């Protein structure tokens, strides 16, 4: 029996491939035999089957130019590019919902929603023309469920006003219906489209946050970035040939409470 999880001979595009999660996904797909292109506004660490393209995913022309440089029409697209409020975000961005800046909302929606939509338009169209393909839109438990604001009590203990901002949740929830829309739109063209919903990935977060987060997590820890690769390979490969329009939740049991 052929290896259903093999990506030999396939071309894959990973947006956000210069980031922690996107980089791990890109290397993981390459390890399964794919020829991988990373589309990221930042330079990508190349090698081991990964080729980097500096691409602003909010610029359709940039996506088209990079896609035209690939050896063949992509078989796989993983939309991992995303923007969230960094730890050193301005006070008004992590303050009360009532005061959340609309400019910050615009920036997050541009990357997380528009960037995903544009990549699907450009690359998905080429997949449909070729009659095959798999698109994986990476979402978050904060797009499926409301953030647990108590996780950030340690930030407020000293008098700081801090709330997990609204824009990330709004943007990630938008991907579910983008996935469903495209799954039905391209079904007869042989293109499968699915959402992958992830819980938090360890990235040297403050210990106070880790303690609060893992206390609520059934598996008792955050995910390692490498643990995301398996689900992505499943959705990208022929192992998931009858899976489309689905939301695959990989969250350590977070949403099971």
**Cβ partners under 8 Å of residue 58, min gap 6:** 110, 111, 114, 115, 118
Note the pLDDT of residue 55.
98
Write the pLDDT tens digit of every residue in 24-35. Answer: 999 999 999 999
Would you list the DSSP string of 173-233?
HHHHHHHHHHHHHSGGGTEEEEEEEE--B-SS--HHHHHHHHHH-TTSSPBPGGGGHHHHH
pTM given for the model: 0.96
Give the orientation angle of helix 20-31 with respect to helix 229-236, to 10 degrees.
Answer: 50
Write the pLDDT tens digit of every residue in 17-62. Answer: 999 999 999 999 999 999 999 999 999 999 989 999 999 999 999 9
Query: Going from the N-terminus, what domains does the chain have, and what CATH number goes with each?
Result: 11-251 (3.40.50.720)
Write the pLDDT tens digit of every residue in 113-137. Answer: 999 999 999 999 999 999 999 999 9
């Amino acid at each position: 029996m052929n290896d259903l999880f093999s990506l030999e001979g396939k071309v894959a595009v990973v947006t956000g491939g210069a980031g922690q999660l996107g980089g791990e996904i890109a290397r993981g797909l390459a390890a399964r035999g794919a020829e991988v292109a990373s589309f990221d506004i930042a330079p990508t660490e190349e090698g081991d089957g990964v080729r980097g393209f500096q691409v602003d995913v909010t610029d359709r022309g940039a996506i088209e130019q990079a896609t035209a440089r690939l050896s063949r029409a992509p078989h796989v697209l993983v939309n991992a590019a995303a923007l969230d409020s960094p730890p050193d975000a301005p006070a008004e961005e992590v303050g009360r919902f009532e005061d959340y800046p609309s400019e910050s909302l615009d920036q997050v929606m541009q990357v997380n929603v528009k960037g995903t939509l544009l990549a699907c338009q450009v690359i998905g169209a080429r997949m449909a023309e070729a009659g095959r393909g798999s698109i994986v839109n990476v979402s978050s438990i904060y797009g499926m469920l409301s953030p647990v604001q108590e996780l950030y009590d340690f930030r407020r203990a000293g008098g700081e006003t801090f709330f997990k901002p609204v824009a990330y949740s709004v943007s990630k929830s938008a991907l579910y219906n983008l996935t469903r829309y495209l799954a039905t739109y391209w079904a007869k063209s042989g293109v499968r489209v699915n959402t992958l919903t992830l819980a938090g990935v360890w990235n040297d977060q403050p210990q106070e946050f880790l303690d609060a987060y893992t206390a609520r997590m059934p598996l008792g820890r955050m995910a390692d970035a490498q643990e995301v690769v398996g689900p992505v390979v499943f959705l990208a490969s022929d192992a998931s040939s009858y899976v489309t329009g689905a939301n695959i939740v990989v969250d350590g049991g977070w949403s099971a409470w």
